């Protein structure tokens, strides 16, 4: 059995492991941690089947800062996922690179890649999860609130998408009380809710799924949202921009949260739809800290996976 560790969903890190990765990210951000697991330089392959600004640039910068050589590949330039099995691609890539990072559609593709790879595979966003974003978000919450456990985090909007799933799973892993509010038919699946509830029992967090945005927002410490039109849903744009109007994060909504609540958005944002310009550009918004934290969080998860997989040694990372 392979000992290789992968990061495909937010549940792939136990609560203790997630906390260690966030500690490592904070140390790396403070520049107290100069370990370079990809020194050589070793190559890290980063594949994109969907467009990206933050993920592309933060992985490139982070891999370089870890002493490695980033190889960024767009799907149209490779055979991955179309001209050979993902299993074949995985076995080839694992002989050439030290980590595989992939932004794609189906979670099953990432699972096939990981099952056939002897080097760590990292989900850089799929239709179902965006776990790297959540590490950055939790680091941002820690920075602004001093902790995660016990805080109430409220997600409004398209609650059936990758960000809603990741907020729910990563949030309860961090011991948070996570409330997800969206319209009927656009809420997390029963399977995701059940998994979140099991994790919440372990950490003291909790899960609320509701169609009532106002009720969800009551006394929130952290308010989050995401686009109503995810990549791949562009044909549904007009309908989706009407569907979620009662779940917008605007000044009215923010009155229901705590006065010192912070606002996160993974970006890119559509001002005037899921979030008003007033809130996104206002004093409670920490979205640019959150964006910067992608670099630090991803450096930490890459380092942690390399050490946990026995592919790099460093006594400071267990």
Instruction: Kindly list the residues in this chain that would bind ligand CP in the complex (CB under 6 A).
Output: 52-55, 125, 133, 266-268
- Helix residue spans in the chain (DSSP H): 15-29, 54-65, 86-94, 107-115, 131-145, 162-173, 190-203, 213-217, 237-243, 251-254, 277-280, 287-308
Nearer to ligand CP (CB atom), residue 60 or residue 145: 60
**111 backbone dihedrals φ, ψ, rounded to 5°:** -65, -40
Pick the stretch among 96-104, 139-147, 156-164, 285-293 that binds ligand NVA (CB under 6 A).
Answer: 156-164
Has 9 been labeled as part of a binding site?
Answer: no
Select the binding partner of residue 9 from ligand CP, ligand NVA, none (C-beta < 5 to 8 A, by kind).
none
Q: Which of 5, 6, 56, 130 is catalytic?
A: 130
**Polymer length in residues for the chain:** 318
Among the listed residues 9, 58, 161, 173, the single contact to ligand NVA using CB under 6 A: 161
CA end-to-end span of the chain: 20
Pick the stretch among 38-46, 142-150, 158-166, 252-260 that binds ligand NVA (CB under 6 A).
Answer: 158-166
How many C-beta atoms lie closer than 10 Å to residue 186's C-beta? Answer: 18
Cα–Cα distance, 197 to 77 (Å, whole number): 41
- Measured torsion, CA atoms of residues 194, 14, 105, 310, in degrees rounded to the nearest 10: -150
User: 262-265 and 222-225 as β-strands: parallel, antiparallel, unpaired?
Assistant: parallel
The reply on whether position 266 binds ligand NVA by CB under 6 A is yes
Q: Which of 179, 265, 294, 296 is catalytic?
A: 294
Beta bridge partners of 249: 275
The reply on whether position 226 binds ligand NVA by CB under 6 A is yes
Question: Would you call 199 a catalytic residue per the annotation?
Answer: no
Nearer to ligand CP (CB atom), residue 160 or residue 267: 267
Among the listed residues 143, 231, 241, 258, the single contact to ligand NVA using CB under 6 A: 231
Interface with ligand NVA (CB under 6 A): 125, 161-163, 226-227, 230-231, 266
- Residues identified as active-site: 103, 130, 133, 226, 266, 294
């Amino acid at each position: 059995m392979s000992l290789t560790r992968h990061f495909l969903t937010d549940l792939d890190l136990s609560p203790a492991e997630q906390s260690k990765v966030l500690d490592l990210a904070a140390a790396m951000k403070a520049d107290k941690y100069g370990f370079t697991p990809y020194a050589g330089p070793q190559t890290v392959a980063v594949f994109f089947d969907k467009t990206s600004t933050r993920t592309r640039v933060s992985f490139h910068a982070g891999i370089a800062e870890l002493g490695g050589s980033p190889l960024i590949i767009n799907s149209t330039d490779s055979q991955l996922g179309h001209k050979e099995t993902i299993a074949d691609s995985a076995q080839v890539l694992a002989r050439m690179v030290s980590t595989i990072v992939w932004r794609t559609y189906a979670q099953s593709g990432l699972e096939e890649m990981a099952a056939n790879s002897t080097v760590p595979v990292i989900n850089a966003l799929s239709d179902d999860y965006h776990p790297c974003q959540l590490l950055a978000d939790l680091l941002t919450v820690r920075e602004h609130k001093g902790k995660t456990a016990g805080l109430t985090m409220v997600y409004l909007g398209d609650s059936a998408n990758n960000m809603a799933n990741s907020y729910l799973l990563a949030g309860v892993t961090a011991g948070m009380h996570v409330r997800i509010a969206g319209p009927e038919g656009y809420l997390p699946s029963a399977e995701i809710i059940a998994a979140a509830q099991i994790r919440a029992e372990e950490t003291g967090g909790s899960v609320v799924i509701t169609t009532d945005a106002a009720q969800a927002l009551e006394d929130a410490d952290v308010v989050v949202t995401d686009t109503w039109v995810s990549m791949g849903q562009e044909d549904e744009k007009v309908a989706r921009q009407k569907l979620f109007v009662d779940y917008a994060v605007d000044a009215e909504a923010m009155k229901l949260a705590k006065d010192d609540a912070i606002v996160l958005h993974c970006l890119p944002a559509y001002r005037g739809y899921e979030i008003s310009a007033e809130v996104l550009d206002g004093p409670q918004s920490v979205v640019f800290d959150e964006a910067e934290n992608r670099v630090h969080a991803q450096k930490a998860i890459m380092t942690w996976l390399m050490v946990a997989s026995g592919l790099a040694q460093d006594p400071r990372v267990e």
